């Protein structure tokens, strides 16, 4: 059905003097420099200029390159003394066009030297009450000495190479420059004391179990690792202070790890000597697990693990692994470990989903860990690319949530009596999804974590949200009592308290992780929510999913930058998103859109007083005008109340004539005739422009939903008006009725105003009350 209102509006504007059109943006436009504030201006000033390494489309350019570092390592664990010894041979390939006079390596364990500056970088204050352990660590005990002891650095001929250590970075000076396209091989021997990661709250170390005297080790950042050299940073040699994670090149790893013979161990890569380290029973179970697609098979049972806890073998076993095209290496080892596995079909390949946990993780871990691993591999593969590695291992480690290629550490421990709360259960499933998910971002789509925490944490948390929701749908029994999986992050309203918070403690997403005030919401929650809103509300699933997949596929096994992501999302969708990146990623603005005012008009038989005055001033006779349809506000003295609620053509003789003269009988039958005309003004106290999502409710109870694109704010960032012409009376207007936009203040979202306080207002009042 055509709406005749289209003709009405255009007729009016044909002759309406510009003063009648209420566009105060015209005033603002004249302010000097105003356009520079325009939120729809393209991000040319913020983005780096595209070049032959990185294309304007967001894809790798024709000259894109990346360095490569292959490792051969022999590692030995001294379980008695919690010490680790290693010797590595690195073959480094310079694919850059530059000659390199020196190489930079990351020696992350130096964050735990006795004189580490990391401990001095934060302000400290007296706490009037403190947990004993933390008090002792701070004021009583000697600082732990966990830095690297470098025994030697030698070239391929065994000649010592000079090196300099600057905190967590080691520079190796080369006798002659490593030319473009050349390779160099060198070796490093090292050892360090392994820290108790529960006490130290570190990403790697051991947990000590006083009941049986054993340790469970989760070992990472344990060897000097090549830093990234790239077209955007040169050497990425920012110090490891503790928050900003890692930037690492890809390579192949050959790693032999020697541990006590009664340990159970898993690591990045494919085990090469299974027959040497597995018992005959374990080999038999492993063959079953490879064919078990629906549930895990135990390789080491709880009874066997508990029996092993009682001993301490003085014999050794060497576990040999090879890993292709990974950016890092991690392993977990203990005699306490239970071990289960199952197969997962990913594309045409079988991947092993694996879990390693002490009895302290049960009964939670035997039930959910491997299930969550398998689900994550399927869900993430669907949204990006088929998981390319042969396995994914989830290791139970108290308080941990940390990721490495093919292996990760995860928290979630039941109480001693084996009971657990919903919080512990969902926390565990969520952290497993998250850390296994990190295989995709940043282990394969290998962004620079040290500089851009959100590129891996934000994208991964967004993917985690989708995988959690799918988990809830797939395993309804696992979420019994909940309508959907209770995701902690991802839903728009969950980010509201953060975005509405004190501006002096907020930083844009585009910030270095060391410098933000609240890393969780900044690098995880907000970008995840921004992407979720982009998918559900701004772009729609089809366009978003295609563009997101394009980004993942363009940059898998490569090093993307934020611009590569931003550009690809636009390039693959034809949606201009510069305004969205600007608002959500480059500012600390928030979303707040409201309905400010509604004026009701009817078609009148006379011009308004205001219009008559204007015509008099400008010597315009009524007869000079084209036939006009006059509208007057309901409450004004201009309006003849007898005409109220009648159709437009009843009230206007000109319109009636027009319709009789110009429209054929068929056309007349087609048109609807509105009776009510509303001018609705929306205001935007929040800095971020968003689509204006409006639900109109009419007197007969029907509703109409209209989403005006975000571009509606492009000429007036403060307020905009829209006209609704209707046969029915309008009785309600709600902005963002389904809470899709993370609008921080819902008290201004409704007309008539709702008396009830919004959840957010209640939350704010609550905080003030405390
Ligand atoms: Zn993470």
Task: Give the pLDDT confidence score for residue 543 in this predicted structure.
Answer: 98
Alpha carbon of 604 to ligand 1 centroid (Å):
63
CA 680 to ligand 1 center in whole angstroms: 44
Instruction: For residue 705, report the distance from its CA to the centre of ligand 1, in Å.
Output: 37
pLDDT, residue 611, reads 87
CA of 374 to the centre of ligand 1 (A): 18
Answer whether residue 224 shows pLDDT above 60. yes
CA of 428 to the centre of ligand 1 (A): 14
pLDDT at 19: 40
State the pLDDT at residue 23: 38
Query: Stretch 247-264: mean pLDDT, rounded?
Result: 98
Provide CB contacts within 8 A for 682, sequence distance 6+.
593, 594, 595, 596, 692, 694, 719, 720, 721, 722, 735
Helix, strand, coil proportions of the chain in percent (round to 5)? 35, 25, 40
Ligand 1 centre distance from Cα of residue 244 (Å) = 11
Supply angle C-alpha 499, 401, 212, rounded to 5: 145
CA of 561 to the centre of ligand 1 (A): 18
Q: What is residue 134's predicted lDDT score, i.e. its pLDDT?
A: 82
For the segment 472-500, the average pLDDT, to the nearest whole number, is 96
> Per residue in 672-695, pLDDT tens?
889 999 999 999 999 999 999 999
Supply the pLDDT for residue 114: 87
Q: What is the pLDDT of residue 14?
A: 35
Q: How far is the CA of 527 from the centre of ligand 1 (A)?
A: 13
The band of 1, judged by pLDDT with boundaries at 50, 70 and 90, is very low
CA 709 to centroid of ligand 1, rounded, Å: 33
CA of 599 to the centre of ligand 1 (A): 50
Average pLDDT over residues 452-459: 97
What is the CA(450)–ligand 1 centre distance, in A?
Answer: 13
Instruction: Classify 650 as helix, strand or coil.
Output: helix
Say which residue the tokens 């006083």 belong to. 210
Question: What is the Å distance from ligand 1's center to 436 Cα?
Answer: 9
CA of 200 to the centre of ligand 1 (A): 19
Query: Residue 631's closest CA among 2, 11, 1?
Result: 11
The per-residue pLDDT for 204 is: 96
Q: Which residues have beta carbons under 5 A from ligand 1 (an ion)?
A: 457
Q: Is residue 665 reached through a cis peptide bond, with omega within 30 degrees of 0 on the bond before it? A: no
- Average pLDDT rounded to a whole number, residues 641-648: 88
Choose the weakest-confidence range: 163-167, 238-242, 492-496: 238-242
* pLDDT, tens digit, 9 for 90 and up, residues 562-590: 999 999 999 999 999 999 999 999 999 99
pLDDT band with cut points at 50, 70 and 90 for residue 24: very low
pTM of the model: 0.92
Q: Which pair of tokens denotes residue 84?
A: 């680790």
CA of 266 to the centre of ligand 1 (A): 21
Q: Which element (helix H / strand E) includes 747?
A: none
Gap from CA of 247 to ligand 1 centroid (Å)? 14
Distance 486 CA to ligand 1 centre (A): 18
Average pLDDT of every residue of the chain: 92
Q: How many angstroms does the Cα of residue 438 sit away from the middle of ligand 1?
A: 7
Q: What is the pLDDT of residue 200?
A: 86
Give the residue carrying structure tokens 């009664």: 262
Per-residue confidence (pLDDT) for residue 47, from 0 to 100? 94
Distance (Å) from CA 297 to ligand 1 centroid? 28
State yes or no: pLDDT of 663 exceeds 90. Answer: no
Q: Kindly report whether the peptide bond that precedes residue 363 is cis, defined as omega within 30 degrees of 0.
A: yes
What digits encode the pLDDT tens for the residues 60-114?
999 999 999 999 999 999 999 999 999 999 999 999 999 999 999 999 999 999 8
Ligand 1 centroid to Cα of residue 245, in Å, is 10
């Amino acid at each position: 059905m055509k709406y005749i209102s289209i003709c009405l509006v255009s007729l009016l504007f044909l002759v309406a003097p510009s003063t009648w059109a209420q566009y105060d943006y015209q005033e603002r436009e004249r302010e000097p420099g105003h356009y520079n504030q325009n939120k729809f201006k393209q991000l040319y000033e913020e983005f780096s200029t595209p070049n032959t390494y990185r294309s304007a489309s967001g894809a790798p350019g024709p000259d894109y390159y990346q360095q490569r570092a292959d490792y051969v390592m022999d590692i030995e664990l001294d379980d008695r003394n919690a010490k680790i010894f290693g010797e590595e041979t690195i073959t480094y390939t310079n694919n850059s066009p530059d000659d390199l006079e020196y190489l930079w390596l990351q020696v992350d364990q130096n964050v735990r030297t006795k004189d580490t500056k990391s401990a001095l970088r934060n302000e400290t204050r007296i706490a009037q009450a403190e947990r004993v352990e933390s008090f002792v660590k701070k004021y009583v005990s000697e600082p732990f000495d966990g830095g690297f002891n470098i025994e030697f650095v030698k070239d391929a001929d065994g000649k010592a190479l000079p090196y300099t250590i600057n905190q967590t970075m080691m520079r190796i000076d080369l006798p002659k420059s490593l030319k473009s396209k050349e390779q160099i091989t060198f070796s490093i021997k090292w050892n360090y004391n392994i820290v108790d990661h529960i006490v130290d709250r570190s990403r790697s170390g051991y947990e000590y179990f006083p009941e049986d005297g054993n340790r469970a080790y989760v070992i990472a950042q344990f060897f000097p690792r090549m830093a990234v050299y790239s077209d955007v940073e040169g050497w990425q040699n920012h110090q490891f202070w503790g928050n900003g994670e890692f930037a690492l090149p890809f390579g192949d790893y050959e790693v032999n790890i020697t541990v006590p013979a009664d340990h159970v161990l898993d690591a990045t890569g494919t085990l090469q000597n299974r027959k040497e380290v597995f018992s005959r029973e374990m080999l038999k179970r492993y063959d079953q697990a490879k064919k078990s697609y629906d549930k895990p098979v135990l390789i080491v049972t709880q009874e066997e693990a508990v029996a092993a806890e009682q001993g301490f073998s003085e014999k050794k076993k060497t576990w040999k692994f090879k890993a292709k095209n990974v950016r890092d290496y991690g392993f977990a080892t203990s005699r306490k470990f239970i071990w289960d596995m199952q197969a997962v079909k990913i594309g045409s390949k079988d991947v092993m989903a694996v879990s390693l946990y002490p009895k302290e993780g049960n009964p939670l871990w035997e039930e959910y860990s491997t299930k969550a691993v398998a689900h994550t591999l399927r869900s993430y593969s669907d949204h990006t690319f088929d998981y390319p590695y042969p396995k994914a291992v989830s290791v139970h480690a108290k308080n941990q949530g940390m990721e490495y290629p093919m292996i990760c550490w995860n928290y979630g421990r039941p109480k001693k009596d084996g009971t657990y709360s919903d919080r512990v259960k969902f926390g565990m499933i969520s952290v497993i999804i998250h850390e296994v998910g990190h295989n995709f971002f940043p282990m394969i789509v290998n962004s620079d974590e040290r500089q851009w925490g959100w590129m891996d944490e934000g994208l991964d948390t967004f993917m985690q949200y989708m995988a959690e929701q799918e988990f809830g749908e797939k395993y309804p029994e696992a979420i019994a009592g909940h309508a959907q999986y209770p995701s902690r992050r991802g839903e728009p309203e969950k980010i509201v308290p953060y975005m509405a918070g004190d501006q002096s403690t907020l930083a844009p997403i585009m910030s270095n992780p060391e410098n933000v005030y609240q890393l969780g919401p900044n690098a995880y929650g907000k970008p995840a929510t921004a992407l979720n809103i982009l998918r559900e509300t701004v772009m729609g699933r089809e366009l978003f999913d295609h563009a997101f997949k394009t980004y993942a596929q363009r940059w898998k096994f490569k090093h993307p930058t934020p611009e590569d992501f931003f550009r690809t999302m636009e390039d693959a969708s034809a949606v201009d998103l510069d305004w969205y990146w600007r608002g959500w990623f480059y500012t600390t603005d928030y979303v707040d859109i409201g309905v400010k005012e509604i004026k009701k008009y009817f078609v009148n038989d006379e011009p308004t007083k205001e219009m008559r005055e204007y015509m008099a001033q400008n010597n315009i006779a009524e007869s000079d005008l084209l036939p006009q349809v006059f509208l007057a506000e309901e409450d004004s003295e201009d309006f003849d109340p007898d005409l109220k609620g009648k159709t437009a053509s009843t009230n206007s003789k000109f319109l009636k004539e027009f319709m009789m003269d110009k429209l054929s009988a068929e056309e007349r039958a087609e048109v609807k005739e509105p009776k009510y005309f509303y001018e609705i003004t929306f205001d935007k106290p929040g800095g971020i422009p968003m689509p204006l999502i409006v639900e109109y409710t009419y007197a007969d109870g029907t509703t109409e939903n209209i989403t005006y694109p975000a571009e509606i704010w492009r000429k007036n960032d403060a307020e905009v008006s829209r006209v609704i012409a209707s046969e029915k009376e309008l009785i309600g207007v709600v902005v963002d009725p389904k809470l899709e936009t993370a609008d921080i203040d819902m008290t201004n979202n409704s007309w008539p105003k709702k008396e009830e306080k919004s959840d957010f207002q209640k939350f704010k009042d609550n905080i003030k009350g405390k």
